[in-house]
Structure 1
Amino acid sequence: MPTDTGELAESPFFGGLTVGRCAQQITYTADSYADLLLTCSGRRALTAPGPRG
């Protein structure tokens, strides 16, 4: 989470700015966790996008 909120606080597009954090429990199956690690490490080959993205 970014700690420098100056750009948002000075933006004319936002009113008062409040920043918060919250923890989230995420569970994975073994296969999906292995896939996540491979994706994040750049070692999993991603399929090319189709004609519509």
Structure 2
Amino acid sequence: MWSSPTDLLVQTQARAQLDRVQHHTLLVEANGRTKVAEDQLRELQGNFMK
């Protein structure tokens, strides 16, 4: 099936938007994991200092 240039543009823009959303989601997840790791590290350091 042949797509019009407009269809192709819309598909390309939709794909780019999806890529941005997925990238943002990965960043948010990574930041969350970093915070958990930092909290665990602080807890370990606190236990070590006791």
Structure 1 and Structure 2 fold alike (TM over 0.5)? no
Judging by fraction of residues, say which structure has more helix: 2
Q: Which has the larger radius of gyration?
A: 2
